[in-house]
Amino acid sequence: MTGAPDGLPEIKPRASWRDSIAVYLQRRVLIVLLLGFSSGLPLALSGSTLLVWMRESGVDLGTIGLFALVGTPYTLKFLWAPLVDALHVPFFTRRLGRRRGWLVFSQLLLIGAILLLALTDPARSPLFVALGALLVAAMSSTQDIVVDAFRVESLPESEQAAGMASYVAAYRIGMLVSTAGALFMVSGFESTGIARASAWMWGYVAMAALVLIGTVTALAATEPEPSVRAEAATQAETAFVRVLHAAVGAFSEFLVRKDALAALAFVVLFKFTDAFSGTMTAPFVIDLGFSRNDYAAIVKGVGLAATLIGGFAGGFVARRYSLGVSLWIGGVLQALANLSFSWLALAGVNEWALAFAITAENFTSAIGTVIFVAYLSALCRNPLHTATQYALLTALAAVGRTYLSSGAGYVAKATGWPLFFAICVAVAVPSLILLAWLQRRGHFEGLETKV
């Protein structure tokens, strides 16, 4: 210990809160994990959790199915992704950098959108609920644009598999918190004597507060080095030229690749089996006779464990096998998992059957998602337009969840639940046919080094 001039021990200045948090967030994989949680949190708030709220409020099944359309921003986010790649956010970019500035800015807007949705009433004004959900989806998809670019640019090749497994597991945990966690909170508020409408409002307020986890992570992280280099390379260009280069470069670079259109069709269809069934899972469980708390308890307990195990199992598969083989494993497993819900529909109100179905869904979906994220990441190659290119790919992947799944409620209404989930298995077949065709054409061979 050194001494001060007067002989007293030297008192070192206390570390700032940012430095203290940075000690715990210094590993890139951990930062990606926490940002994955922040990305996964808002999706269910305009999706499955909102559907439970609407069903409890007496909204018709057909209308509930149409609410899949509020996910439109997830399919169109590539349209404004070039702005994220190229433009600076006043104050935020200057203080935090290109990616981190957009991260914090989008998260603050997301918090405001969730709070606005909390003030709506599905029973009285479904239109205002739809507008609020649409705003949440728009802010959430903007956050996704930045987080995806940050993740791809932050992780070196040696950490990609671990980073993807952590990101997807945390993403799924975020979704579970905003489904099971939100439902438990609503029930807890109701148990104190608060009216149901107010209980749902406060549940959404609590979810908005959890977005701050991602904000703190963004503040404590450091700007990705590829982003710093890309920013320096384009510093002399005008904002219009940067946006133009980001938009044109992202599209042209991808479309000139061999079998580009078939690859894009595969991106659209690979997760469609998950999306088609997932749209109606929560209403199905409620209709079957389970209470909100039964569903929440199993999703939060069994579903969380299955998601964690499935996420890291997907990371193992992505490292152990080639990209093409890994996609086969994930694609087949996530399709067959739907049969567990057909069995549940026949078994009736059986908590063990529900636990098995939720476990199968979360485990296989997490495996498929990790491998799919590995594939999408391998397709993005240039830090000048990482956000735009990845947004284009994930927007196409959201087409199945948003548009192709919008009629799921009508299909379930016409066929009944057992046959509906069997149909969910069948809708995976086109993606597997495309996968076989792309594999024969050697599509995955040039991507292996990126995983």
Q: Looking up tokens 């997301």, which residue turns up?
A: 110
Q: pLDDT at position 5, please? A: 41
Q: pLDDT at position 88, please? A: 84
pLDDT (tens place) for every residue of the chain, 451 residues total: 444 444 444 444 444 545 544 443 446 778 888 999 999 999 889 888 888 888 787 777 677 777 777 888 887 888 888 888 888 888 888 888 888 999 999 999 999 999 999 998 887 777 888 889 999 999 999 999 999 888 888 877 666 666 777 887 888 789 888 987 888 898 888 888 888 888 998 999 999 999 999 999 999 888 888 777 777 767 767 777 777 777 777 777 777 788 888 999 999 999 888 888 877 887 888 888 887 677 777 766 777 788 888 888 888 888 888 889 999 999 999 999 999 999 988 888 788 888 898 899 889 998 998 889 888 888 876 777 777 888 888 778 877 767 777 788 888 888 988 899 999 999 999 999 999 999 998 888 867 544 4
Measured CA to CA, the distance from residue 182 to residue 205 in angstroms comes to 10
Residue 390 token pair: 């990845």
Q: Look at residues 157, 71, 162, 223 and name the one whose alpha carbon lies nearest to residue 381.
A: 157
Q: pLDDT at position 142, please? A: 93
203 touches 345 (CB < 8 A): no
Handedness of CA 424, 379, 309, 141 (dihedral sign): negative
Measured CA to CA, the distance from residue 155 to residue 382 in angstroms comes to 14
CATH superfamily of 18-450: MFS general substrate transporter like domains (1.20.1250.20)
Q: Which residues are within 8 A (CB) of 393 and not within 5 positions of it... i.e. 6 or more apart?
A: 267, 376, 379, 380
- Phi, psi torsion values for 3, nearest 5 degrees: -105, 155
Measured CA to CA, the distance from residue 401 to residue 198 in angstroms comes to 30
Q: Looking up tokens 């509930």, which residue turns up?
A: 64
Measured CA to CA, the distance from residue 92 to residue 109 in angstroms comes to 13
Q: What is the largest CA-CA distance in the chain?
A: 87
332: left (phi over 0), alpha (psi -120 to 50) or beta: alpha
120 touches 142 (CB < 8 A): no
Measured CA to CA, the distance from residue 87 to residue 70 in angstroms comes to 26
Q: Looking up tokens 């280099």, which residue turns up?
A: 229
Q: Looking up tokens 């240039």, which residue turns up?
A: 382
